[in-house]
Amino acid sequence: MSSSLGGSSLQVHAVRFGPGQELLGSLQAFVEEAGLRAPFIITCVGSVTKATLRLANATATNQNELLHLSGQYEIVSLVGTLNPDAHLHICLSDSQGRTVGGHVMGDLQIFTTAEVVIGEASQLEFRREEDERTGFPELVVQRR
């Protein structure tokens, strides 16, 4: 089931995180400090030396399919919502240009930089509720 609440104006925030910072935690801290209620990733470029991803075949009852990466990877895509709990997917490329992607579980240690542009739908609020069909806490969008 899906629904539409119509449009919303957009606020844009830009932030840069530096070497050694953990990207997911840094994003969550930024969202909390800024008081954002409906934030999402517009774009992100940068690099990481570590990442933990959940692969596509995981279910709510079997989330064991984790991929732990270590090395130098370019962030070629980062998408998703950030509030109240982040639901992000990332695509990373290695030194040979091979890509891997999945659901961000954390441990995204920044190598050189992460330049992130975050949007916020000003008239909306994001929250999560357990969905009995998927077994996961899914996005619920409300008007403020």
DSSP-assigned beta bridge partners for residue 129: 138
What pLDDT, on a 0 to 100 scale, did the predictor assign at position 57? 75
Structure confidence at residue 14 as a pLDDT band (50, 70, 90): very high
Task: For 114-135, write each residue's pLDDT tens digit.
Answer: 999 999 999 999 999 999 998 8
Type of residue numbered 130: E
Tokens of 28: 């969550």
Query: Does CATH number 3.40.50.12780 belong to domain 11-143?
Result: no
Task: For 62-74, write each residue's pLDDT tens digit.
Answer: 666 899 999 999 9
Check whether 61 has a pLDDT greater than 80.
no
Percent of the chain with pLDDT over 90: 81
Closest CA to 3 of 102, 143, 141, 144: 141
Task: For 30-40, write each residue's pLDDT tens digit.
Answer: 999 999 999 99
Which residues, 6 or more positions from 123, have their beta carbon under 8 angstroms from its beta carbon?
A: 8, 9, 143, 144
Q: Quote the mean pLDDT of the chain.
A: 92
Exposed, middle or buried: residue 74 (CB in 10 Å: 0-12, 13-18, 19+)?
Answer: middle
